[in-house]
Structure 1
């Protein structure tokens, strides 16, 4: 039993806490102690739970349930040896107590012995009529083993036993999703909804499955039914907005997102999507207003800063774009997308050194896309740093060994530095991998067309 602040059920709790303050020992029956301990464990107040267990066992030393709470605390504190020892003692006293097996399985799970934990939990099933929690625990153990089919089966048993167990429903869909069984998930959810036609969670999940399969009309219908079942269901309005966006119905999408702002505190996601819809409708003033609201609501949301920066970049207001991407970088200097945008904007402003710095930072953070390597290398070439450009392109070849564009650039650089052998090597590789890109030599290294070897190779291409 959970204590409530609004009724008299919390009287034993008040009495217990008063006792702790006065050090005047009062008597409680064992069930009262169990409720007090259960309350503290649910609240995460482990120290108070331990005090209640100690005082409870002092007054009721033979109570199995109080000692099981002691086991639970041992397990929580990772004192598995003591927990196992106490469980073995309790098993001798009550070999048919399912809670002993549940706690034993908990210890095995903590020791990563999930198969054995499942065996123990299945034995506990034979000892109880209240199977729902045990089915759920078995399902979780199968999840630990990545045995999603088996996990799904046991979560389904949970839902059969308790039709309102939404956590089991979510776990079932998680298994379907992991196994990429979207059609099977739809079939299961439709069967479930035949029996529970007003289950908003099932309608919501059905809509998400249709959305994954790009069946937008069916997804929209499912989200509409979720809203009919519960017209305060924020998640359904958000998903409905997403579908309407995909259908390019931006006005209705905005209406759907706006409802969520009235039902609950504004979410940065909804504000961002409204901004995006207004931008697609060509209403730039409203778009930027909502983008500003997005980063005000959640300054850590990178998508908000990216949206503002891209908005100004698209509208060729590069100074403002640079201002906002600098603000974003000050908040999170390890965001690759920020640095890529920083580089692109500086490039547009002809601030080549800053642009090169941005591309280098993006590479340092793991952005190994071919255009990042090439653009940075070309900037180094423009900045008169051929050696640094060579190092950049040679590093790029480690990730893109057959990329002709890199080979042509290295060929040009090496020929320019009078390293004929290396130049020929890369020029031949460039021609072999893709001779259509040979124009790179003409564009970046036109003086090389006077080199007889280079000219001969280029003229001999098919």
Structure 2
């Protein structure tokens, strides 16, 4: 049992903590020690739990349950040999104690011996009346080895024993999702709801499965039933809002998102979605107001800063867009999306050096999209950094081999620095991959069109 703040159940805990402060040894029965230890473990107070176990075993040296708590501490601290040794001694005393086998399976799981852990847990089923927890543990072991069908079966068995085990229900749906068995998930949830028609969790999950299957009307109906089952269920309102957005019913979507703000602390997700809906409705003042609320609520949410930046970018207010993307970068300088936007905005403002720096940082952070390579290379060309531009495009070819746009650019650059053979080589590649992109030479290297070798290659049919 767990101690509460309001009743007399916490008297042993108060007495125990008073004893620790005074060093006066007081007597507790073994069940009181078990409750005290359980409380400390739930609170994550391992040092106090160990003290309680030590004192408990001094007063009750033959208590199997207290020794099992000692095993639990050994396992937590990864002292698996000591845990195994103590479990073997306990097995000699109580060979039918289910907790001994559960802890044995726990050790095997920590050793990545999941199949053996499953065998031990299956044996435990014959020792306990509470099989639901064991089926859950078996299901988790199957998840560790990616055996999702077997995991799903065992979590379903949990629900057969305890229809209110929502943790098992979530795990069943997780398995269905991983296996991409959305129709099967829908069928299972409908059968489950026939037995438990007021389970808001099941209605919510059914709605999400209908969204995946793009059955939006059925999804809305499922979320409606979730709300009927529990009209304070924030998740159902959020999902309902998302479906209404997909249907371009922005006004009703706003109503659903707004309800969540009254039921619980405001979430940055709901504030952001309200902002997007108002923007779709062309109510720009309210859209911006909710975007500001989003970043105020969660300054680390990149989608909020990106929404504000893109808002001003669409309005062609690039100075304000730059101001807000700079604020975002000051909060998180490792966000690749920020740097990409920073580069694009500086580019529009003709701040070419800053834009090039932004594209370079985006590449360093793993944004290897072709337009990033090309935008940076073209800026280096504009800045007269020809060798840096060549190096940029040569790096790009590692990700995009046989890409005509890159080859024409490399050709023009090599001709410009008078490395004619390389220029011819890349021009031939460009023509081979796609002749239609040869206009790149006219746009970026117009003087090259006067070159006889270039003219000859451009006019050739092969």
Q: TM-score range by the shorter chain?
A: over 0.9
Instruction: Please identify runs of 4+ aligned residues in structure 1 that moved more than 2 A.
Output: none
Which secondary structure does the structure 2 equivalent of 1:429 belong to? helix
Q: Quick check: 1:356–1:379 contact (8 Å CA) kept in 2?
A: yes
Alignment of 1:26-425 (within 5 A): 26-425=26-425
- Distance across 1 between alignment mates of 2:17 and 2:350: 70
Distance 1:94 1:177 in 2: 41
Paired with 2:386 and 2:51, the residues of 1 have a C-alpha distance of: 72
CA distance, structure 1, for counterparts of residue 413 and residue 37 of structure 2: 75
Paired with 1:411 and 1:383, the residues of 2 have a C-alpha distance of: 18
The CA distance in 1 between the partners of 2:269 and 2:247, in whole Å, is: 19
Give 1:188 shift: 0.6
Contact 1:268–1:297 (8 Å) recurs in 2: yes
* Distance (whole Å) between structure 1 residues aligned to residue 379 and residue 314 of structure 2: 22
SS in 2 for 1:397: helix
Distance 1:127 1:46 in 2: 29
Q: Deviations 1:166-208 (Å, cap 9, x if unpaired)?
A: 0000000111111111111111101100111110000000111
Query: 1:28, 1:305 → 2: CA distance?
Result: 57
For residues 109-149 of structure 1, the C-alpha deviation after alignment (integer angstroms, 9 at most, x for no partner) is: 11111111111111111111111111111111111101110
Separation of aligned partners in 2, 1:427 and 1:318: 37
SS of residue paired to 1:193? helix
Segment of structure 1 superposing worse, 321-330 or 14-23: 14-23
The alpha carbon displacement at 1:386 in A equals 1.0
Contact 1:404 1:437 in 2 (8 A): yes
Give me the whole-angstrom Cα distance separating, in 1, the residues matched to 2:4 and 2:443.
78
Report the secondary structure of 1:176's partner residue.
helix
| Cα distance in structure 2, aligned partners of 1:72 and 1:392 | 56
How far the C-alpha of 1:424 sits from its partner, in A, is 0.9
**Residues 210, 218 of structure 1: 8 Å contact kept:** yes
Structure-2 separation of matches of 1:166 and 1:22: 44
- Aligned-CA RMSD value: 0.9
Name the TM-score, length of structure 2 as normaliser: 0.99
Q: 1:268-292, CA deviations, whole angstroms, 9 ceiling, x for partnerless residues?
A: 0000000000000000000000000
Q: CA deviation at 1:212?
A: 1.2
CA distance in 2: counterparts of 1:222 and 1:350, whole angstroms: 52
- For the Cα contact (< 8 Å) 1:278–1:287, is it kept in 2? yes
Equivalenced residue count is 462
1:56, CA displacement in angstroms?
1.0
In structure 1, the partner of 2:450 is 450
Cα deviation code 1:238-288 (max 9, x no counterpart): 111000000000000000000000000000000000000000000000000
Structure 2 Cα separation of the partners of residues 416 and 10 of structure 1: 83
Whole-angstrom CA distance in 1 between matches of 2:235 and 2:191: 22
Superposed displacement of residue 319, structure 1:
0.2
1:159–1:165 contact (8 Å) kept in structure 2: yes
Taking the aligned partners of 1:296 and 1:127, their CA distance within structure 2 comes to: 55
SS at match of 1:198: coil
CA contact (8 A) 1:431 1:461 kept: no
State the 1:461 CA deviation. 3.6
Q: Find the aligned partners of 2:18 and 2:389 in 1 and give their Cα distance.
A: 75
Residue aligning to 1:21: 21
Aligned-partner Cα distance in 2 for 1:30–1:411? 84
Query: Which stretch shifts more, 411-420 or 154-163?
Result: 411-420
Structure 1 length as normaliser, TM-score? 0.99
Contact 1:275/1:288 (8 A) holds in 2: yes
SS of match in other structure, 2:427: helix
Q: Distance in 2 between matches of 1:457 and 1:323?
A: 48
CA distance in 1 between partners of 2:175 and 2:279 (Å): 37
